Amino acid sequence: MQSVVDAIAIDVAGLTVRRGRAEVLHGLTLRAPRGQVVGLLGPSGSGKTTLMRCVVGVQKISGGTVTVLGEAAGSPRLRRRVGYVTQASSVYDDLTVRENLRYFARVLDAPASDVDRVIDETGLGAQASQLTGSLSGGQRNRVSLAAALLGAPELLVLDEPTVGLDPVLRSELWELFHRLADAGTSLFVSSHVMDEATRCDRLLLLRDGEVIADDTPQGLLQATGAADAESAFLTVIRERETGTASAGSADAGHPEDGHRHGRHAAGDVR
Amino acid sequence: MSPGRTIATAGRVLLQIRHDPRTIGLLLIVPSLLIGLVAWIFEDTQVFAQIGPAMIALFPFIVMFLVTSITTLRERRTGTLERLLAMPLAKGDFIVGYALAFGLLGLVQSAIAVSFAVWVCGLDISGSIWLLFAVAVADALLGTTLGLLASAFARTEFQAVQFMPALVFPQILLGGIFAPRSSMPDVLRVIGDWLPLSHAIDALNAVANGTHDDGWVWVRIGFLGAWIVGAVIVGALTLRRRTA
């Protein structure tokens, strides 16, 4: 039993979230394995950010449980073990890159040497002494990512970390994500860019607050017979909407590959 | 809470302001300029001698309230507050860190305002100028911590800004600047007697006119101190790690 718990980074069961009068997540159930890059894909407004906020423990939830690294999401002990990058680069524009990172390192009790390490990892060496506000949007996002890498957290929750980056940088960041995963870090990365899907070890497709597929990229493509993630996503949606063979539809994203960790999230929610 | 994180937060806030010299200038000089303006308006009358001490209470209080609530509001809007609260930062570290940083600025600001009122505008002080300074600093700190409280209570930016008229203006109206509190209807007089700015104004008047001894003034400073500590505690308690 312990080994099962150890293998799971994020365990969400029956998660319901209301924002204002609207229900954003409707009894969401999913699991994300440790030590992998798990991609959370879905269009804008599908609930990706809300789900990530739940995982980090900054979102008020109306029902269900979120367990992260074996503890309830948001519990004080997790605050050092989980790194979080919001969609907006949440760093201080009126501090230099290094000053930002030095402050966050002190809050995290991370060693001072971490500042140079994360500057290096995110390729910000040339900008280290510049005011963060004077940087481009993509560079600011990387400062935000660098802050999340401080203290080497076990789980990184990254909300659209590659938005607005040029292809070379984007590719470098994905390489960094995989290096981190190889070293044992779990990553939960959201994106609305479908072509990033294939870079993930595992995919969760989110639509209207429901998980409509939970699979490896290869598994998803095979199950749908689609050529790329975008059309696989479309196939899954169409199958659900036409309601053809409810069992088949629910399983569309879940071929019975022995190593899948996700639970049935598609068919039985709401 | 941890002293290290509190100090780190205060240092970070001061570092941010250091990168913005114009803000430092405005923060330190505007209250003095306003006091000078009031003195000028009433140049050939006795009015400034009467209301001058109250102006030392008023302008730094308002400026510090605004600056502090806007700064913490910005922290909320840019997502840095959410990031910090997802880190091992205690809510008290955040609030006290801010109070320390802006308290230090308030100290310098008060020193300039008091010096300006006394030596440039010719405000007569019967009592100790140090005591006047002590009240002014407590008053500026009060503005800071009430600003923190307001922005901790607020759920949105709009709410935070609305707290300025809601929390500050009644204190000015009931503080006895426009009409002595003794002449107000009983209910308003009693409310006014419990509001902190009233005590700052009373204490500054007492020092300026030499109407009370130092002990009486220190009791007023103690009253301000209680409000300051209370605002910090309530502010830290109302800050939410989880938001809708």
Q: What pLDDT is stored for residue A3 in this prediction?
A: 57
pTM for this predicted structure: 0.85
Cα–Cα dist A258/B170, whole Å: 68
3-state DSSP call for residue A209?
coil
Round to the nearest angstrom and report the end-to-end CA distance of chain A. Answer: 29
Q: Are B53 and B199 in contact (CB under 8 A)?
A: no
Tallying the residues shown for chain A, one arrives at 270
A176-195 pLDDT per residue, tens: 999 999 999 999 999 877 77
Cα–Cα dist A79/A72, whole Å: 11
**Nearest residue to B101 via CA among B89, B91, B93, B113:** B93
Round to the nearest angstrom and report the end-to-end CA distance of chain B. Answer: 25
The string of DSSP codes covering B65-123 is: HHHHHHHHHHHHHTTHHHHHHTTT--HHHHHHHHHHHHHHHHHHHHHHHHHIIIIIS--
Structure-token pair, residue B70: 């806007």
Tallying the residues shown for chain B, one arrives at 244
Using pLDDT thresholds of 50, 70 and 90, give the confidence band for residue A266: very low
Q: What pLDDT is stored for residue B157 in this prediction?
A: 67
Q: Residue B88 — φ and ψ, nearest 5°?
A: -75, 40
Give A131's contacts in chain B (Cβ within 8 Å).
Answer: 19
- Listed by start position, the domains of chain A span 82-152
* Mean predicted lDDT score pLDDT of chain A: 85
Determine, for residues A99 and B12 on separate chains, whether the beta-carbon distance falls below 8 Å.
yes
Q: Residue B90 — φ and ψ, nearest 5°?
A: -75, 150
Give B4's contacts in chain A (Cβ within 8 Å).
Answer: 106, 109
Nearest-by-CA chain B residue for A100: B12
Cα–Cα dist A189/A161, whole Å: 8
Query: How much is the average pLDDT of A252-263?
Result: 39
Residue of B83, B93, B156, B239 to mutate, testing the A interface (most A Cβ within 10 Å of its Cβ): B83
Q: Are A30 and A204 in contact (CB under 8 A)?
A: yes
Determine, for residues B80 and A80 on separate chains, whether the beta-carbon distance falls below 8 Å.
no
Determine, for residues A56 and B86 on separate chains, whether the beta-carbon distance falls below 8 Å.
yes
With tokens 């490896």, the residue in question is: A216
Cα–Cα dist B191/B198, whole Å: 10
Give A19's contacts in chain B (Cβ within 8 Å).
Answer: 244
* Nearest CA distance, B22 vs chain A (angstrom): 13
Under an 8 Å CB criterion, which residues of A touch B?
18-20, 56-60, 74, 76, 79-80, 82, 84, 86, 88-95, 99, 103-104, 106-109, 131, 147
Q: What pLDDT is stored for residue A93 in this prediction?
A: 94
- Tens of pLDDT along chain B (244 residues) come to 899 999 999 999 999 999 989 989 988 999 999 999 999 999 888 889 888 999 998 888 998 998 888 888 888 888 899 899 899 999 999 999 999 999 999 999 999 999 999 999 999 899 999 999 999 999 999 999 999 888 877 767 677 778 888 888 999 999 988 888 999 999 999 999 999 999 999 999 999 998 999 999 999 999 999 999 999 999 888 888 888 7
Closest partner CB to A90 (pick from B15, B20, B78):
B78
Using pLDDT thresholds of 50, 70 and 90, give the confidence band for residue A251: very low
ipTM, two decimals, is: 0.88
Give B80's contacts in chain A (Cβ within 8 Å).
Answer: 90-92
